[in-house]
Structures are given as C-alpha cells and as structure tokens.
Homo-oligomer: A and B are copies of this chain.
Amino acid sequence: MGARAVNIAEVASAAGVGVGTVSRVLNGSGQVRESTRRRVLAVMERLDYRPSRLASGLALGTTRTVAVLVPFLTRPSVVDRLAGVLSVLDEQGFDGLVYNVETPDDRDRQLSALADRHRADGMVTVSIPLRREQVAALEAQGMPLVMVDADCPGVSRVVVDNVAGGRMATEYLIGLGHTRIAFVGDQPNKAMGFVSTSRRLSGYREALRRHGIARDRSLERRGPHGADWATTVLEELLVRPDAPTAVFAASDTQAMGVLRAAQRCGKHVPGDLSIMGFDDIEAAALLGLSTVRQPLRRSGEVGARRLCSALRGEPITPVREPLPLELIARQSCGPPLVRERPPPVGVAV
C-alpha cells in the first residue's frame, strides 16, 4: 500500500514556501504572487495533495454540513421534500447528513447524537415535530434549526394550513353535490406527534358543519398509513346500504387504496364514488386522482434556504413561512350519480 497522505506542511516545504502561503492558494485568498501560486499548485498536483476537511473544519470551527432528519424516508411525500432540501444544500455548498427515523426512539437517539459539537452546523427536520425540551436543547447548543412541515411556535419553519386543506377538499366534494363523504387518514401517532391528519380532519368537519351536513362518525376512519388499510376500510364502507358517495383521504397513498377498493367492489369512479387525495405525489397524476396539492419539493427547498441564511448569520424572517395549497381537479371526482342512470363511459383511473 502506499504513499502516506500528504499534508500541507509537506507541500509547503516541497514548494519552498511556508504553510501559510499554501493555505492561501488553497483558499484563493488573493495575496499570492502568481508565480508562487503556480508553483504551489504544481507541487500540490505532483504530490496529489488533498486537504483535510477535518483539519480545516476544526480550525474554522465549522463543518459545512447540515443534518437532515426525515421520518419514513421512502414515503413519496417525504423523499420529495428531502430532494428539495438536498438540492439547496448542495447549491449552497453544504453537505447533507441524512437520518431516517421511524420511531420516537430513533428520533431521540439521533437528536442526542447530534448534540456533539462540530457534527453539523445546523439541522432541518422534515415532518417531525420536536418536543419543547428538544427544541430548547438544540437552541442551548447553538444549533440552528428549521422545521419543514411542522408548526412549532418559535422555531423557523415552513408549513401549510392543513385545516384549510381539509376544508378545501371537502367543500369541493360538497360543491359537487355529495353529502355522504367519508374521511380516511392515518391514525393518531402520539409518540411521533404527527398532527397533519388531525388538522385535515378538522377541516373536513368544519366544511360539513358549515354546509349543514350532519357528521357521521362511522364515516370517519383512521388507521395505519399505507394503501392496504385504506382499501380494507373502504371495502367495508362500500357494501353498506348507506355507503358514502365520496371519500376524502388525508394522503394520496391512502387515496390509492380507496381507489383500489372501489375497483374491487365494482364501483365506478367518479360515478359511484368520488375520491380526493392530499399531497399530489407523482402517482396521483398518473391515476387521475384529484387532490390537494402541497409544494412538497419546494417546502424542502425553502426550509434549506432558510437554514443556510441562518448559518450565514442573516436574520431569518418571517419565522413561520406558510406555503400555499392548491386543489387539483382530475378525474376521480364528480357529482354523485343517480343509481338508475347508466354507468359513465370513460372511467379515467
């Protein structure tokens, strides 16, 4: 094996200059005679010199690295956000350490590991609420933090109005003429503290109330994330005599499960059943799913951008940055059909 790594001192002596000069050419800090610069560069080349990030980081007191905490990395909405975060970090010259956490334990473990100094200059959490003490601890450590998709008072964050989103989806359905509208969403996750689903549910209820539609608790279902459970629950609902004519799923993934249930039950979409999703992940367009779009990738970009500003010492305002929601009407929603009418032709699913 060979050639022990070359350090700046060796380059300096080989080039017949001081380490300071080498450092200067390394960082392009002007004040170096062109001829000297070239000589040093040549030596670095010849010796295959590669600077140590650890050493420069230590000297500078910075890592140029940002920690990114994401839950359930493989979920489309999460990975879209992450992609946004990473792209901005990259463009701003930061490396991204990614931690995928699926349990409160994971989260706490990573958080305390991140308590080491000089591990990351800052941190962005995606869709992960933190407890007060955790936020406080981070603050105490002087670790800049920005949260994406979590509304934590006092911390820099980018959010959407989930209540409004739920209302928007539901009112769209109501406007189409539906009155029996089911809700399907993730079950409450106290441990991780997710609240988006609950918020969307509130919006749903609010819409019903506003339009004088009595709330039917048997139509409000929450269960494990993923399409499978949604399929099961809908299959159950669809055979009831008072089956819903529409369903609002709190995520596109679950909406996909609902879609499958409709198909299995021989229900036409949207004739027999209208389906609204949430997020607008890529598959939604593919399946013709109407949905409430939130700017997933963009939320990550905005969050990362804020963190980078903070790291540059710029004050970041406003602290809370809301991103817009948008209703995307595709083919999965329509007016409820009268039973006697013939089924619609092109079921665009």
Chain A residues in contact with chain B, CB under 8 A? 1, 5, 48, 50-55, 57-58, 63, 65, 73-74, 76, 79-80, 82-83, 86-87, 90, 95-100, 115-119, 140-142, 227, 256-257, 260, 263-264, 266, 282-283, 286-287, 346-349
Contacts and interface: CB of A to CB of B under 8 A. Distances in A.
Contacts of A119: 53, 95
* Closest 7 pairs between A and B when the two form their complex, measured CB to CB: A54-B118, A52-B118, A54-B58, A52-B117, A98-B98, A53-B119, A50-B117
A118 B22 CA distance: 19
12 contacts: A50-B115, A50-B116, A52-B58, A90-B100, A95-B99, A96-B98, A97-B97, A256-B283, A256-B286, A260-B287, A264-B346, A349-B349
Nearest to A100: B86
B286 A227 contact: yes
B73 A117 contact: no
- How many copies of the polypeptide does the oligomer hold? 2
A90 B99 contact: yes
A54 B51 contact: no
Contacts of A99: 86, 90, 95-96
B141 A50 contact: yes
Contacts of A256: 283, 286
A314 to B, nearest CB: 16
A140 B260 CA distance: 53
A209 to B, nearest CB: 33
A55 B58 contact: yes
A219 B76 CA distance: 32
A261 to B, nearest CB: 11
A64 to B, nearest CB: 10
A140 B63 CA distance: 25
A176 B260 CA distance: 25
A54 B63 CA distance: 8
A4 to B, nearest CB: 10
Contacts of A348: 263-264
A264 B348 CA distance: 7
Given A50-B141, A286-B227, A74 B79 contact: yes
A140 B286 CA distance: 46
Given A5-B117, A82-B73, A96-B98, A349 B263 contact: yes
Contacts of A1: 142
Nearest to A4: B142
A86 B58 CA distance: 26
